[in-house]
């Protein structure tokens, strides 16, 4: 069973539907997630798949993920289907989640969570020392990017 490893949240100055439009648009993924170099596929329905070219500390690789939970304007949950960088081996049963909640006039609370179990001994050692901190930093940047994109709309 996976467990919560990293969680960040922010109040973004935009209604949920504006944020939803961004987080379900494959063409916006490179502007939102700092690790994504390019992306193909779909992000706007249950069981959709996306393939991302990612950059992790200068290494380029590919990951394919599937949307396993989808509640319009409220929730998305992705899991790793395959990757060529070893993420699926390091992060067993990984889940990448967005939750949106109205937070007043034209404001939304956005929560970004990552759930997983370390997949091997190295991941168990590195998770509290490096992996969780790296994921949390990325989540904070994702939320800042969403705020910026909403402000510049």
> In which domain, by residue range, is 73 found?
3-151
CATH of the domain at 121: 3.30.530.20
Burial track 121-134 (b if 16+ CB lie within 10 A, e otherwise) = eebeeebeeebbee
What pLDDT digit, counting tens, does each position of 54-104 carry?
998 888 999 999 999 999 999 999 999 999 998 888 899 999 999 999 999
- According to DSSP, residue 129 is labeled I
Whole-prediction pTM? 0.94
Binned at pLDDT 50, 70 and 90, residue 153 comes out as low
In the three-class reduction of DSSP (H, G, I as helix; E, B as strand; rest coil), residue 140 is classed as helix
Structurally, the chain folds into a number of domains equal to 1
CB 18: neighbour CB atoms within 10 A?
A: 17
């Amino acid at each position: 069973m996976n467990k919560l490893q990293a969680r960040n949240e922010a109040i973004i100055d935009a209604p949920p539907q504006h944020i939803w439009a961004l987080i379900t648009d494959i063409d916006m993924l490179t502007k939102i997630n700092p690790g994504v170099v390019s992306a193909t596929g779909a992000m706007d329905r249950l069981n959709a798949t996306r393939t991302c070219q990612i950059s992790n500390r200068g290494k380029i690789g590919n990951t394919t993920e599937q949307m396993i939970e989808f509640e319009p304007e409220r929730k998305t949950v992705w899991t790793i289907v395959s990757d060529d960088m070893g993420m699926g081996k390091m992060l067993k049963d990984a889940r990448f989640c967005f939750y949106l909640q109205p937070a007043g006039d034209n404001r939304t609370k956005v929560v970004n969570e990552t759930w997983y179990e370390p997949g091997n001994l190295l991941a168990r050692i590195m998770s509290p020392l490096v992996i969780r901190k790296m994921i949390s930093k990325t989540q904070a940047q994702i939320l800042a990017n969403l705020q910026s994109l909403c402000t510049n709309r």
